[in-house]
Amino acid sequence: GENVEQHPSTLSVQEGDSAVIKCTYSDSASNYFPWYKQELGKRPQLIIDIRSNVGEKKDQRIAVTLNKTAKHFSLHITETQPEDSAVYFCAPGGNTNAGKSTFGDGTTLTVKP
């Protein structure tokens, strides 16, 4: 099955700094690369995703970059704010994996005011 690793497991930044989280995966058939945000006590929610025919996607302060050759993709958050504090998960997969997604172990981001 898919082997997914996320780094770092915890990340603490000052408000206004940037944060980068990296996700590596093993299944070269994966064609969908999402990032989910989970606030304390809440359900995970998609914040940004990218498909395999695109190298980068940006949505205001967040961006995702993909390197299919090296089998990794990264979440970039600029100008971090305290409300960005949460756990972030990657879950590479897509329609080639019969709906079976493997989630990374998560990165706990803390933004200090």
- Beta strands per DSSP E along the chain: 4-7, 10-14, 19-25, 32-38, 45-51, 56-59, 62-67, 72-77, 86-90, 107-112
The residue range among 16-24, 54-62, 67-75, 100-108 that interacts with another protein, by the rule CB under 8 A, is 100-108
45 lies in the binding site for another protein (CB under 8 A)? yes
Size of the site for another protein (CB under 8 A): 25
Question: Which of 25, 64, 73, 89 is in the footprint of another protein by CB under 8 A?
Answer: 89
113 lies in the binding site for another protein (CB under 8 A)? no
The neighbouring-strand residues paired with 87 are: 38, 108
- If 0-12 CB within 10 Å is exposed, 13-18 middle and 19+ buried, where does residue 52 land? middle
Which CB atom, from 73 or from 106, has the smaller least distance to another protein? 106
Please give the residue ranges that form the binding site for another protein (CB under 8 A).
1, 32, 34, 36, 43-46, 49, 89, 91, 93-106
